[in-house]
Amino acid sequence: MFGKGSKLYSIATAKCPKCHEGDLFLDPNPYHLKNMEKMHVNCPVCQQPSEPEPNFYYGAMYVSYAYTVALFVATYIVSALFIGLGMWQTVSILGGVLVLLGPYLFRLSRITYLNFFVKYDPNAAPKAGH
Ligand SMILES: [Zn+2]
C-alpha cells in the first residue's frame, strides 16, 4: 500500500505523481526556506507539468487547511488529554508545531493536491536502467 504505484508513495516521498521517479521540488529540503516553493516546471523523468494550469495551487490551500486541522487535533489530544497540559501550554505547543512543520505541510499539501489530479502511469518513466 505504501509502495511505488500508490498515491501515498508519491505524497510521502515528494515524487512526481505520474511516474513516481522524478522529484517535484528543486531542493529536497523544505527547510531551505528560500527554495521552499520552487518546483521543477516539468517532472525531470516523465515531463509531467508540476503546475498543470495557472494558479493550480490555489486549491492546495484547502488541503493545507485540512492537514493543519488534523495536526491541531492530534497535538491537542496528545498534549491536553494524554500529557495533561493546561490551555496556554497546549496553545504554545500548537504554535510551535505549526511553525516547525509549516514548510513540510506546505509541500505536503501541494503534492497531495497534485495527486488528486494526476494518476500514476507505470509506463511514464523510461525503463532503461531498471
Ligand atoms: Zn514524473
Cell (9 digits) for 45: 523523468
The rounded Å distance from CA 92 to ligand 1 centre is: 40
User: Which residues, by Cβ under 5 Å, contact ligand 1, an ion?
Assistant: 16, 18-19, 22, 43, 45-46, 48
The rounded Å distance from CA 50 to ligand 1 centre is: 9
Whether residue 94 has pLDDT greater than 70: yes
Element (H, E) at 19: none
pLDDT tens for each residue of 42-88: 999 999 999 999 999 999 999 999 999 999 999 999 999 999 999 99
The rounded Å distance from CA 112 to ligand 1 centre is: 15
Give me the pLDDT at residue 114, please.
97
Domain ranges of the chain: 7-117
Question: What 3-state class would DSSP assign to 119?
Answer: coil
The rounded Å distance from CA 24 to ligand 1 centre is: 8
> 94 with 76: CB under 8 angstroms?
yes
